[in-house]
Structure 1
């Protein structure tokens, strides 16, 4: 089936999320390769529209969230964050972006159909939250993962909720506090992934086929049971977590971390001690 742009209003005329229905799945492909599929305002809007469209797609039993290029998602679009309008200030802008991202995480967790993350590339920061929000996650051999917020002076605030629902406590602590990179095998061992696979397309196809005997109503109701605790936590703590991000965005360390990232240099605190 021919890939089509998603519907809905967007602040970016480009198609950043491609939509296709094939073999019983609505396939949503992140295709914002100019910024490594970073979470921009336009990408969030288009992904929301694609998820809404998939919810009403009779020909699709499941949703597959994949990506074009070598990165699944690089996290927040820091260039967008650094050039946000000054009329409301960095803290207010950060809080609003966090609330928008909360809405996206909720849309994935609460989607009436199972959502499968199909990854064969790099996943960083907020991208880890997208993977954790999906019901199932498969990753191929090119995949790497890291929670890099700590290296920018930030906290993985909103995504900590779906991550805590998937990843073992000690392993999540290490990932959050070190920002270390790890591979798909490790991601599987700590609970972030359903499977680490050699042939991603074949593995996704097999998993999609497993849903064909399942009742749409049965899938919807069972998924709601599983999603309930995560949604309740997101709703209960959403304002608190948005406040953490807003507070940190106004600090000198985050300014230095973001500047260093955009200038492709180590931040000042990363210098070796003499």
Structure 2
């Protein structure tokens, strides 16, 4: 069986690449499970100083796999695992990211994208809302921008993503931009990194403790609705949903 996450390692930095390009790296139950296992392995490996989360193919992630979606509790657990991993996780994005894929970016400690990347919260266009991914994202995003992009589903570029807090930085050459960041992580002590990460993720994890159960229930209710059934059918059939004016 083909793996959906490709792993590599160089000088203390593990690279985990979403590796289902034929499915636009959609977040299937299988991909979520495999990514969680790889993160666990990195957490146990003392030779790993940091993790770079990236992708194969032109798309970072199309969001949830609507044909084989992960259990929402499993997806929440994955986001929390990224936040609680005692090693920094750095997202490297060189293509489109949508919906649940933005949740992964929100959970990462640092996120960088090239000018080829763009982003959208597309949930409202299929009859649901960005509920679960709000856990790591709303503590990080500029509030007015979150309101705009959550409500409209508009696509925005990497520069705008950096301005509103979705990304740490945007650059034409993402690898050149990330080089000093990765070099800095290699110079940091493992214990110091773990302690510093706990400081900067504490407020995000508070949101998980407070809101995760309510948002999972909200998501489940929305996906079970008639509007979601119509929206998902329209998306899969490549047609406009019944409500579009």
Q: Please classify the TM superposition score into its range, dividing by the shorter chain length.
A: over 0.9
What 5-or-longer segments of structure 2 have no aligned partner? none
Q: Distance in 1 between the 2:221 and 2:3 partners?
A: 33
The answer on whether the counterparts of 2:91 and 2:108 sit within 8 Å (CA) in structure 1 is yes
1:156 and 2:130 aligned? yes
1:37 and 2:25 aligned? yes
> Which entry has the higher C-alpha Rg, 1 or 2?
1
| 1:173 alignment counterpart | 147
| 1:24 alignment counterpart | 12
| 1:214 alignment counterpart | 188
The answer on whether the counterparts of 1:26 and 1:57 sit within 8 Å (CA) in structure 2 is no
| 1:52 alignment counterpart | 40
Matching residue within 137, 158, 162 for 2:111: 137
**For each residue in 1:212-247, what CA deviation from the matched residue of structure 2 results, as whole angstroms up to 9, or x when unmatched?**
221100110111122122122112211111111111
Matching residue within 56, 74, 91 for 1:117: 91
| 1:85 alignment counterpart | none
Pairwise CA RMSD: 1.2
**For each residue in 1:7-39, what CA deviation from the matched residue of structure 2 results, as whole angstroms up to 9, or x when unmatched?**
xxxxxx211001111132110000011211111
Q: TM-score, normalised by structure 2?
A: 0.96
Matching residue within 72, 77, 85 for 2:65: 77
Q: Distance in 1 between the 2:80 and 2:135 partners?
A: 11
Output aligned runs, 1:228-239, within 5 Å.
228-239=202-213
**For each residue in 1:54-76, what CA deviation from the matched residue of structure 2 results, as whole angstroms up to 9, or x when unmatched?**
11233321110000011111111
1:195 and 2:169 aligned? yes
| 1:127 alignment counterpart | 101
The answer on whether the counterparts of 1:117 and 1:138 sit within 8 Å (CA) in structure 2 is yes
What 5-or-longer segments of structure 1 have no aligned partner? 1-12, 82-95
**For each residue in 1:79-137, what CA deviation from the matched residue of structure 2 results, as whole angstroms up to 9, or x when unmatched?**
124xxxxxxxxxxxxxx711111000000111100100000001000000000110000
**For each residue in 1:249-271, what CA deviation from the matched residue of structure 2 results, as whole angstroms up to 9, or x when unmatched?**
2211100100011011111111x
3-state SS of 1:72 partner:
coil
Q: Distance in 1 between the 2:149 and 2:200 partners?
A: 24
The answer on whether the counterparts of 1:147 and 1:156 sit within 8 Å (CA) in structure 2 is yes
